[in-house]
Amino acid sequence: MRGVVAVLCATEIISWGILFYAFPVLSTTIRDTEDWSLTWLVACFTAAQLVAAAAGLWVGRRIDSHGPRSVMTAGSCLGVVAVVLIAAAPNLPSFLLAWLLAGVAMSGTLYAPAFAAVTGWAGDQWVKALTAVTLVAGLASTVFAPITAVLVDHVSWRTTYVCLAVVLVGTIPLHWLGLAASWTPLTGHLAGSVLHDPARRRVVHQPEFVLLVAAMTLGGFCVYAVVVNLVPLLIQHGLTTTEAAVALGIGGAGQVVGRLFYRPVLIRYSARVRTVGTLGAASLTTLALAVVHQPVLVVCALSFAAGTARGIFTLIQATAVSDRWGTHDFGARNGILSGAVMAAAAFAPWVGTLLASAVGGYAAAFVVLALGCLGATALVRPHDPAAEPVPAPNGPR
């Protein structure tokens, strides 16, 4: 199991850093160089997240039945092709098509498939394994935001993406060789279509599950809107692009601390307490970022705190299903939850930009996002103890 975790730690930090965190750093440079509207650029990025959310439903079922090896390897291959096409895009429509392909790659490489892989293989050590993967992957922005900023200071944004694509190639053999352990299918009574399987319909329509999906979707929207719009907010507050990129990277370090904090401290509390507390912390830190402009060190500290809440939120999302309903059909159930959160996260960058225009700036938009996180806490309900979890399957050690 240690080998699987090590592989996923490496591939997640690379995949997140290149497919997700490079864009917020490069977006303004692309706008200035190509004279493409920032709103439309963010819309392309949003479209990629939507494709990832839709494809994630199939990915979850595929991993349940056949394991993560082929899915994640194919995702890495598509990711390399997509990044090269992004770099070569001669116009905005081509840029959009390249990002749509990147969205398919995201569905097969980012957290959802990695969580399903870890949950299926780790047995009773699944929380520890998930923490390790998200702990290291949380450094994606810390590592790749500054690297991307340095690259684009010396070469064009297109060459920057080509350089990043070369790094992404390394995830292909890692997924193929490192995820070759035998896989016990997790497919059960929820493996069928939502529309045709009565058992799955009962889970989907269960009030607690519906409210949980709603809470995580609203919370995820606000959390990810903050990530992608943080650099424009800080630039509007008077920071330079480099200072804003560093603050974003420091937020990534905060994610790591949040994930370190999760297992030894928060795991002892109920799933509801953890979820409400995390969303509340995200609300407070988002509000603080909206109102505090200077000094830079204080802003960086707030970004670190926001990153801490974001890091915990990732683990809250990863364990939301298994904490309440066990790991049987985890990929299918988690595909519904992750798909909803990813769809919300997809719209977050674009809606965040539109919101800033509508309310008079990014600071006011962050206040609205803080209120959204606060509202999400009201949707979290106690778990019904009658729903007994299914024990996690034993996997390779």
Residues 280, 288: Cα–Cα separation, whole Å:
13
Classify residue 393: in a domain, yes or no: no
CB-based contacts of 58, cutoff 8 Å, min separation 6: none
Q: Are 335 and 192 in contact (CB under 8 A)?
A: no
Q: What is the pTM of this model?
A: 0.71
pLDDT of residue 33: 93
pLDDT of residue 110: 86
pLDDT of residue 122: 65
Lowest mean pLDDT among 144-158, 181-195, 254-268, 271-285: 181-195
Q: Are 108 and 54 in contact (CB under 8 A)?
A: no
Q: Are 191 and 332 in contact (CB under 8 A)?
A: yes
Q: Where are the alpha helices (DSSP H) in the chain?
A: 2-16, 22-34, 38-66, 69-88, 92-107, 111-121, 126-137, 140-154, 157-169, 171-178, 198-205, 207-236, 241-265, 271-291, 296-325, 330-359, 362-377
Classify residue 389: in a domain, yes or no: no
Calculate the alpha carbon distances from 331 to 172, 319, 339, 381 in Å. Answer: 22, 12, 11, 22
pLDDT of residue 165: 96
CB-based contacts of 240, cutoff 8 Å, min separation 6: none
Please give the backbone phi and psi of residue 185, each rounded to the nearest 5 degrees, phi first.
-55, 135
Section 334-357 average pLDDT: 81
For residue 147, the enclosing domain spans 2-181+196-377
Give the pLDDT confidence of 135-175 residue by residue, as tens digits: 788 788 888 988 998 899 899 999 999 999 999 999 999 99
Q: Are 278 and 309 in contact (CB under 8 A)?
A: yes
Q: Are 67 and 395 in contact (CB under 8 A)?
A: no
Q: Are 251 and 307 in contact (CB under 8 A)?
A: yes
Section 331-343 average pLDDT: 75
Give the pLDDT confidence of 200-211 residue by residue, as tens digits: 555 556 677 788
Give the pLDDT confidence of 216-268 residue by residue, as tens digits: 999 999 998 898 888 889 988 888 878 888 888 898 889 888 878 777 777 77
Classify residue 392: in a domain, yes or no: no
Please give the backbone phi and psi of residue 108, each rounded to the nearest 5 degrees, phi first.
-100, 0
Classify residue 305: in a domain, yes or no: yes
pLDDT of residue 111: 77
Classify residue 188: in a domain, yes or no: no
Classify residue 60: in a domain, yes or no: yes
- In terms of phi and psi (left: phi > 0; alpha: psi -120 to 50; beta: otherwise), the region of 239 is beta
pLDDT of residue 195: 44
Classify residue 391: in a domain, yes or no: no
The CATH number linked to 311 is 1.20.1250.20
Give the pLDDT confidence of 287-313 residue by residue, as tens digits: 999 998 888 899 999 999 999 998 889
pLDDT of residue 391: 45
Residue among 3, 2, 97 nearest 44 (CA):
97
Domains held by the chain: number: 1
Classify residue 394: in a domain, yes or no: no
